[in-house]
Structure 1
Amino acid sequence: YGDIYIKEIYLLGAVNAEVNTLTGRERQSVTLHTGLTGLQADKIFWFFGPVIPNTSIVESQVIRGENITEFKGRFREKLQLDRETGSLTIRNLTLNNSGVYQLDFFNTHKTSQRFYLTVYAPVPLPQVRKIPEGDFLDSSSEKGSCSVVCSVENRRDMTLSWYRGEKRLNQTSSPDLSTNLSLHLEIKLPDNNIYSCVAANPVGNQTTKLNIETLCLQFSNAQFHLLPH
Structure 2
Amino acid sequence: MVSVMEGDSVTLNTDVTEINENGHILWKFGAGNSLVAKIKRNKQNSTFDLPDERFRDRLKLNKQTGSLTITNITTQHAGHYKLEISGAKLLSKTFNIFVYGVFGDTDVMKSVSVLEGDSVTLNTDVKMQRDDQMLWMFGPQERRIAEIHRQNIYIDATNTIFEKRLQMDNETGSLTIRNIRTEHTGLYKLLILSNRGNSYKRSSVTVYAALPFPVITRDSSKCSSSSGSSSSSGSSGQNCSLLCSAVNVSHVTLSWYKGNSLLSSISVSDLSISLSLPLEVEYQDKNSYSCVLNNPISNQTQHNINITQLCQPCLALDSNSPSYQDSPLIALISAAAGSLLIVVVIGIFCIYRKCRRPDQEGKCYWF
Q: TM-score range by the shorter chain?
A: 0.7 to 0.9
Q: 2:192 corresponds to which residue?
A: 105
Q: 1:213 corresponds to which residue?
A: 308
Q: 1:39 corresponds to which residue?
A: 128
SS of the counterpart of 1:199? strand
Decide which moves more: 80-89 or 93-102. Answer: 80-89
2:283 pairs with one of 178, 189, 195? 189
State the AA in 2 paired with 1:127: V
Q: Using the TM superposition, give the Cα deviation of residue 179 of structure 1 relative to its aligned residue in structure 2, in angstroms.
A: 3.2
Long gaps (5+) in structure 1: none
Long gaps (5+) in structure 2: 1-27, 30-79, 83-93, 231-236, 324-367
SS of the counterpart of 1:93? coil
Runs ≥4 residues deviating over 4 A: 10-13, 226-229
- Return the alpha-carbon distance in structure 1 between the equivalents of residues 178 and 200 of structure 2: 23
Percent of aligned pairs sharing the same letter? 36
CA contact (8 A) 2:117 2:179 kept: yes
| Aligned pairs, number | 217
Q: Using the TM superposition, give the Cα deviation of residue 42 of structure 1 relative to its aligned residue in structure 2, in angstroms.
A: 1.8
Q: Does 1:28 align with 2:115?
A: no
Q: Using the TM superposition, give the Cα deviation of residue 43 of structure 1 relative to its aligned residue in structure 2, in angstroms.
A: 0.7
Cα 1:116–1:183 shift into 2, 3 Å: same
Cα 1:170–1:179 shift into 2, 3 Å: same
Q: Using the TM superposition, give the Cα deviation of residue 144 of structure 1 relative to its aligned residue in structure 2, in angstroms.
A: 1.1
CA contact (8 A) 2:152 2:170 kept: no
Q: 1:93 corresponds to which residue?
A: 180
- Larger RCO, structure (CA 8 Å, separation 6 or more): 1
CA contact (8 A) 1:160 1:198 kept: yes
Cα 1:98–1:228 shift into 2, 3 Å: farther
Cα 1:10–1:192 shift into 2, 3 Å: farther
Q: Does 1:174 align with 2:268?
A: yes
Q: Using the TM superposition, give the Cα deviation of residue 191 of structure 1 relative to its aligned residue in structure 2, in angstroms.
A: 1.5
State the AA in 2 paired with 1:125: F
- Return the alpha-carbon distance in structure 2 between the equivalents of residues 138 and 126 of structure 1: 26
Decide which moves more: 175-184 or 165-174. Answer: 175-184
State the AA in 2 paired with 1:110: N
Decide which moves more: 138-147 or 193-202. Answer: 138-147
Q: 1:152 corresponds to which residue?
A: 246
- Return the alpha-carbon distance in structure 2 between the equivalents of residues 175 and 26 of structure 1: 17
SS of the counterpart of 1:77? coil
- Deviation sequence 1:171-213 (CA, Å, 0-9, x none): 0123443531000011123221110000011121100122213
- Return the alpha-carbon distance in structure 2 between the equivalents of residues 137 and 86 of structure 1: 62
CA contact (8 A) 1:53 1:102 kept: no
- Deviation sequence 1:69-111 (CA, Å, 0-9, x none): 1111211411111232222110001111001101111221111
Q: 2:217 corresponds to which residue?
A: 129
Q: 2:225 corresponds to which residue?
A: 139
Q: CA RMSD in A?
A: 2.5
CA contact (8 A) 1:48 1:99 kept: yes
SS of the counterpart of 1:214? helix
Q: Using the TM superposition, give the Cα deviation of residue 130 of structure 1 relative to its aligned residue in structure 2, in angstroms.
A: 1.1
Q: TM-score, normalised by structure 1?
A: 0.84
Cα 1:171–1:131 shift into 2, 3 Å: same
Bigger radius of gyration, 1 or 2? Answer: 2
Q: TM-score, normalised by structure 2?
A: 0.54
SS of the counterpart of 1:213? helix
